[in-house]
Amino acid sequence: MRITLRRLAIASACSMATLAIAAESTATSAAVLGTADAVARGAAARPAVVDPSLGFYRQPALRGDRLVFVAEGDLWQASATGGTAQRLTTHGGVETYPALSADGRWIAFTGQQESASDVFVMPAAGGVPRRLTWDTGAVRVWGITAQNEVLYTGNTERGEPGTQLHLVDIATGKHRALPVGQASDGALSPDGKTLYFTRNGLRGDNARQYRGGALARLWVMDLSGTAEARPLIPEGANDRRPMPYTDAGGNARVAFLSDRDGTFNLWSVKADGSDLRQHTRLKGWDIRHASLDGAQAVFAVGADLYRLDLNGGAAEQKLSIALGGDFDQQRKRWVSRPQDFLTGVSLSPNGEQVVLTARGRLATQGVGPLRRAELPVPAGLGDAGRCRDTAFSSDSRDVFALCDYSGELEIWRLAANGAGQPRQITEGATAMRRSLSPSPDGRWIAHTDKEGRLFLTDLKNPSRAAATREVDHDTLGDGATSLSWSADGKALAFVRTTSNPYREQLMLLTVADGKVHQLGSDRYAATAPAFSPDGQWLYFLSRRTFNVTGNPGPWGDRNMGPFFDKGWKVYALALQPGLRFPFAQPDELQGLKAKEEAEVREQEKDKPDNKESKQKVDQAKAAAVKEEKPSAKDKPGIQIPGLSLRLFEVPVAAGNYSGLAVDSKRLYLQEATTLRQLPIGPGETRIETFAEQVTAFDLSADGKKLLIRRPAAPGAAPEILIVDAGPKIPGDLDKSRVRWTDWQIAVDPKAEWRQMFNDAWRMQRDFFYDKDMHGVDWTAMRAKYAPLVERVTERSELAEVMAQMVGELSLLHSQVAPGELRKGAEEPGFAGLGAQLERDTKGWKIARIFSGDPELPSEAGPLAAPGLNIPVGSVITQINGRDATQVPDPSELMRGQAGKQVLLQLREPSGKERPVVVTPVDLRREGQLRVNDWRYGRARIVDTASNGKIGYLHLRAMTRDDIGDFAREFYAQSEREGLIIDVRHNNGGNIDSWILQTLLRRAWAFWQPRSPYGSKPYPNMQQVFRGKVVVLANEETYSDGETFSEGFKRLGLGPVIGKTTSGAGVWLSDQNRLMDNGLMRAAENGQITVDGQFLVEGKGVTPDIEVDNPPRATANGQDAQLDAAIAWLKDAIAKDPVKMPKPGPYLRPIKQ
């Protein structure tokens, strides 16, 4: 078993040539973004030549002649007509979404200056930024009002998942939430009385021309009254980023971004929603962000900024901007923590060293003082390229690696000592290659690819094009895994799916004839094949033991069915007929044979000289030799006929084994984080612990050494050990450690960004569920966006380019995230009290304490902890002895205090003062407490409204933790007459089938126990829900939350109430990681009906009963969707109540 995180990081690189970026102008139809040649594949292509002063300009803000924008993760300012820009911020964190005040004095922005996103403000002329909020949520600044209040989106005031618009005063810091829910951006009219805002809209996905349930829609609300908000313009396209202005005729208008013509362009309407006008007519290039000052618009397209007068007739003009500075984030630098990027460790056949793969680089190293050899990249490529899967050659002198130096992942050969140049072994890859496994005889390399193919590469074939041939193809799964060679290199064992996609089968390739043999049926799963060194046995793991643990029967609380723990055992196949199983118990026949062999040896000592005696001895010797083990050079061949029937079971208890290796004396088994060993011998059953805390292991080809990998302690690196094979790990490990944490890797950021861009492009090509890429010319898309990479100056800008590129596929599950971002110095994190606090003259008033399940005290927030009895309305006057009135937010006095005791001085509403000690929580837990308060608030509403007849449960996501939530809440309410399952704001996962199968259970009979009090019968099936069920879903129901909702509808379990869901119906494995641990999600598996129609994706799940939660009502705490669910259930229960059977006449003996 080679240690490599194959599914975590997939690498590729391709150098680039100059390419076209074209967009049509509003008036001239001329290209506004330039043209160039097509991208060439391979290392010979050169990146586009770009003016070194050019940057990647985003998120502009305009006021008069001052233009502020984002570049290099900082804020810059320039003249509104362009020119050389001046840097405004230099903090290590990222600053985004700037806004300028009407008087031009202030710049507000979203800052990550202290490990969290919040609103900051600074003088436009320069100065120290000042924090205005401590929301630490999804904060984005959208503008500064005429009253000098910053408008931003942050956490909802009532805890409902999502965002809400807020205002914070620049001068006083006073905060107020606007009465509008589901708002993702917005703008106020000059008088501050009218709010224009965007309802919903995609948050993390990148999908052009999206038309699902989370469609961005423009709404308007009169803040001076109490009327509900209304749509500003009819639905049908994504409309967002409203910007009020006055046209040349003095009419109030609202400009906005819309994709109603297929591309996000700038449009406007009158303030009443009439007179729709289009101001730009770009084709194929979206406007990503825009800002207005009066009728002057500035917007971002590609990597540039453009300016347009909405009252004029001239075309938009590209602003010529240059950055003055040293472009520090493009400098070559050193990565000093390779452990953060480690993706693979492979052991040499002689057990003397390992090859490490970190951030796409390779190095070999042994234990103790042995030097580390960094393996070179091909000459002329610099730092461009990435390597991933690795394996040593059979003689340990070379390393084979899958590297993308040629533009595709191909096999390269590198000297293990770091000398010489890498040599390319394969060519012509059409999908990502992976899983290298060289044969012990040095002739072959087995490997697979993303298309499920298994290849053999002949290392003696001088033709790169002809050296590789396909030998197997998996049509159901992801291809062969657990590749394992016989000692003579004549056979390759592996596992893959055959006729059943749920279970991998043991397979055997005989190299000489190229035939693949299935060694068993598809009834049981198999994995981890390992040949014995003598060539007589093939050991493997198989799950064939099914003993129920936990639930002895269908009864018992929250019994969701039987669980079969420890189902894996070790099995062995005799590769030749007539072999005696090494673990077989001694018997009398074996003893007789041993006696005959001893007699032969005695006769040899006597040296008989007569011909007859000599003949007998020769015959006996021949028989004895026949039973002896063959030499390493003369191993017996594998006899295929009857092989699958020569099956033996190793006499060791079943377990949760995941890894297996074998040497001449022992079997090594990994179970969870424990490595165990079992001596090979007659009657051996003593499985003993070799080592604890093992995350992965490998056995050297010569059977003498073991590679042990142990987990990292917080802030430290994983421990890598090379130890002697044997019964137990040595007590002193100092001489066994591979000292690799001082490895520092030199990186060229620009080269890495090019590699990651191409890596992301290739991941989509190879993982996307539709091989025809939704009809998009994917090669052309690389050509379209590659030149933007040359404009990138920091990592989040690269993510922006990737997001634009993947958006061309128009699919959800398309999130992109940077891996390594520039950060400021480590500072103590914020902590929270699990409450909503308001400023008071004496300190901070506790306006609301987030509540949860009172029967789960460990889940209570800091102020709701048992025994504290803190009343709402109490004022916190001191925190750890410091005056609470002297800070803009109490969080400032609890920096670094999460999980630690903090002393609060309280003044209760009665006037009583007392100290209390509480334990604040970190921001993640604070967010959970806020959402839990909303969830349990819904449950209380339902319980009260139905007099306890209707149950309620909310699923925040569909993960392993959420099935625990479901089991706790569902079975606690299984006797109710109605149930509401709320999957609004559900983030997805993969547990829909567990929940659906639970809801599909039906009571077909009842058990009637005896009781003098007349106990009621209980159903068979046990704990079945017999009442009516409804599901609540909304625009933010996502992924598996949608699959559950669709399944609930199609299976006729009840109605879905609410709004059409997001439309993320193509699932993924989430295994795509870039060189710096960045994310490029690729949707891999679509859902189809029996007749082949795709479900959910792009359109969402349409509710049976559509009910909207209007923005103002939602912000005020109303929940029309929940009310509709309660009303429907009440009506359904009244019409068809749950019937409880009563026993009829009891049986009596038949009278004679």
Place of tokens 């009516």: 1028
Active site residue 913: no
Quote the CA–CA distance of 804 and 764 in Å, as a whole number.
13
Supply the angle between the helices 1040-1050 and 992-1000 in degrees, to the nearest 10.
Answer: 20
Amino acid at 768: F
Q: Looking at the DSSP assignment, which residues form a beta bridge with residue 239?
A: 258
8 A C-beta contact, residue 1049 and residue 1104: yes
Q: For residue 369, what are the contacts with CB-CB under 8 A and spacing of at least 6? A: none
How far apart are alpha carbons 343 and 360 in whole angstroms? 8
For every residue of 867-885, DSSP letters joined together read TT-PPTT-EEEEETTEEGG
Q: How high is the pLDDT of residue 135?
A: 84
- Please tell me the distance from the alpha carbon of residue 896 to that of residue 1123, in angstroms, as a whole number: 42
Residue with tokens 């919903």: 200
d(CA 658, CA 695): 11
Domain range summary for the chain, segments of one domain joined by +? 60-327, 588-626, 835-885+894-921, 928-1065+1100-1135
- Yes or no: say if 36 and 50 are a contact pair by the CB < 8 Å rule: no
Q: What pairs with residue 697 in β-bridges?
A: 708
Nearest residue to 425 via CA among 416, 435, 412: 412
Catalytic: 1097? yes
Give residue 23's pLDDT.
33
| Contact by Cβ (8 Å): 887, 864 | no
Q: H-type helices in 628-698, by residue range?
A: none
Q: Which of 321, 344, 207, 332 is nearest to 811 (CA)?
A: 207
**Gap between the Cα atoms of 897 and 879, Å rounded:** 11
> What is the Cα–Cα distance from 153 to 141, expressed in whole angstroms?
7
Handedness of CA 599, 604, 610, 611 (dihedral sign): positive
Distance separating alpha carbons of residues 23 and 32, to the nearest angstrom? 6
Check: CB of residue 89 under 8 Å from CB of residue 127. Answer: no
From 289, 813, 954, 985, the catalytic residue: 813
Q: Give the Cα separation of 1095 and 1088 in Å (integer).
A: 6
Burial class, 645, CB count within 10 angstroms (exposed 0-12 / middle 13-18 / buried 19+) = exposed
3-class DSSP state of 647? strand
CA 405 to chain centre: 27
What is the reported pLDDT for 115? 63
CA dihedral of 36, 42, 46, 52, whole degrees rounded to 10: 90
Burial 574-600 (b: 16+ CB within 10 A, else e): bbbeebeebbeeeeeeeeeeeeeeeeb
Looking at residue 2, its pLDDT comes to 35
- Compute the distance between CA of residue 69 and CA of residue 74 in angstroms, rounded to an integer: 8
In DSSP terms, 569 is beta-bridged to: 542
1039, 1042, 1045, 1062: the active-site residue: 1039
Distance of CA 489 to the CA centre of its chain: 38
The tokens describing 483, both together, are: 């590749």
Which of 263, 200, 276 lies closest to 232, judged by CA? 276
Contact 575, 493 (CB under 8 A): no
Which pLDDT belongs to residue 633?
53
Query: Which residues 6+ apart lie within 8 Å of 845 measured at CB?
Result: 837, 838, 839, 873, 874, 875, 876
Q: Is-catalytic flag, 435? A: no
Strands 118-123 and 387-392: unpaired
- Residue 141: strand, helix, or coil: strand
Q: Decide: helix, strand or coil at residue 1135.
A: helix
Q: What is the CA angle 974-980-982, rounded to 5? A: 125
Q: Is the dihedral of CA 852, 858, 864, 868 positive or negative?
A: positive
Tokens of 236: 């049908």
Report the Cα 717 to chain-centroid distance in Å: 22
DSSP string, 167-226: EEETTT--EEEEEEESEEEEEE-TTS-EEEEEE---SS---TT--STT--EEEEEETTS-
Using a 10 angstrom Cβ sphere, with 0-12 exposed, 13-18 middle and 19 or more buried, the burial of residue 130 is middle
**631 Cβ neighbours under 8 A, 6+ residues apart:** none
Cross-strand pairs, 746: 334
Look at residue 356 in the predicted model and tell me its pLDDT: 97
For residue 335, the SS3 value is strand
Would residue 407 be called left, alpha or beta, if left means φ above 0 and alpha means ψ between -120 and 50 degrees?
Answer: left
pLDDT for 11:
30
| 3-state class (DSSP) for residue 169 | strand
Choose among 429, 427, 343, 470: nearest CA to 766: 429
The number of C-alpha atoms within 13 Å of 373 and in the hemisphere containing its C-beta is: 19
Contact by Cβ (8 Å): 967, 987: no
Residue type, 819: G
Smallest CA-to-CA distance from 435 within 457, 417, 463, 406 is with: 457
How confident is the model at residue 607, as a pLDDT? 56
Strands 978-982 and 1028-1033: parallel
CB-CB contact of 213 with 1063 (8 Å): yes
- Cα separation, 594 vs 516, in Å, equals 39
At the fourth CATH level, the homologous superfamily of domain 60-327 is Tricorn protease N-terminal domain (2.120.10.60)
* Domain spanning 928-1065+1100-1135, CATH class: alpha beta
Sign of CA dihedral 755, 760, 765, 766: positive
How far from each other are the two terminal CA atoms of the chain, in whole angstroms?
A: 75
Average pLDDT, consecutive stretches of 10 residues, N- to C-terminus, the chain (1152 residues): 32 29 32 33 51 91 97 96 95 93 96 82 94 88 96 92 95 95 94 96 92 96 96 92 96 97 97 96 96 97 97 92 91 90 96 97 93 90 85 98 96 96 96 97 97 97 95 90 97 95 95 96 96 98 93 85 93 97 87 64 58 53 47 73 97 96 97 97 92 97 97 86 96 93 93 96 96 97 97 96 97 94 82 95 96 93 96 97 94 94 97 97 92 96 98 97 96 96 97 97 92 83 95 98 98 98 92 92 94 94 98 95 98 96 87 71
Paired residues of 355 in beta bridges: 346, 364
Q: What are phi and psi of 181, to 5 degrees?
A: -95, 165
The total number of residues written for the chain in this structure: 1152
Residues 339, 1079: Cα–Cα separation, whole Å = 18
Rounded Cα distance, 1021 and 1003, in Å:
5
Q: Answer yes or no: are the C-beta atoms of 57 and 318 closer than 8 Å.
A: no
What 3-state DSSP class applies to 424?
A: strand
Pick one of 2.30.42.10, 3.40.50.150, 2.60.40.10, 1.10.10.60 as the CATH number of 835-885+894-921.
2.30.42.10
